[in-house]
Amino acid sequence: MSSTATPNRREKPAAKQVRTRVRNGGERFWGHADFPALPAGAVSQALSRLSHAGELQRVHKGVYYRGRPTVVGPSRPERLTSAARASRARLQPAGLTAANLLGFTSQNSARGEFAVSAPASPSSLAGARVFAGRPHGRESLTDSEIALLEFLRDRGATSDLSGPATCARLLELLADRQSFARLAGAALDEPPRVRAMLGAAGEQLGVLGRPLQRLRASLNPLSRYDFGKLACLETSQSWQAK
């Protein structure tokens, strides 16, 4: 995969924005929906040019993939992940797919594990494990933020790290205050255990104000929650861990 293609000196601003985001975006899929503020025609041309330059791989019509360098050449998208991107529904990482994305495991599910807000699994993912009916409030989150919510749903069970190392990695991922605020808002539609674990992590990180207050207020004070591998969070007991 080349990353040294020389841009045309007359390159339009929209094309430059697309190129810059693709080069800085790491290994992932790209399509028109990733550039909602730019003209669709300009996005199509820019993605096509990056494909011809070898910086992107065309997967489906309007869908491209940027791999990572490996000893045998650029990585390629898995078949199921490609099918996921081709579906109309937004596919969210779940299970081992989420844990792998976040750095908790090097494993990958053979079938692929995803979540969708739609009430039923897309037909293009017949071979994958798909959790349907997830909250629509997730739609404004990044894939990594959604993966964090799924990881909390699983109580950290998909992590290959020790309990303390899992908690340390979780805190590292939640350290950005703006991201935490977005997650706290979306978590109000998640199961109570997710809100409790997120609140415990936030308190340990020193988060103050409305995000933490809303999480606390959303919990039944008489309930207790199984934190699983995340019971090692320092403030787990004050957030009603069993």
The yes-or-no verdict on residue 84 having pLDDT over 80 is no
Is residue 8 included in any domain, yes or no?
A: no
> Domain end: 50, 77, 104, which one?
77
Which tens digit of pLDDT belongs to each residue from 29-76? 777 767 878 888 898 899 999 999 988 887 666 778 787 665 556 666
The Cβ of residue 107 has, within 10 Å, a number of other Cβ atoms equal to: 12
Containing structural domain, residue 47 = 13-77
- Report residue 157 as tokens: 């069970």
Is residue 4 included in any domain, yes or no?
A: no
pTM: 0.69
The sheet that has 113-115: what strands, in order across it?
A: 92-93, 113-115, 129-131
CA distances from 214 to 15, 108, 199, 204, 207 (A): 41, 35, 9, 16, 12
| 3-state secondary structure (DSSP) of residue 168 | helix
> Domain end: 29, 51, 77, which one?
77
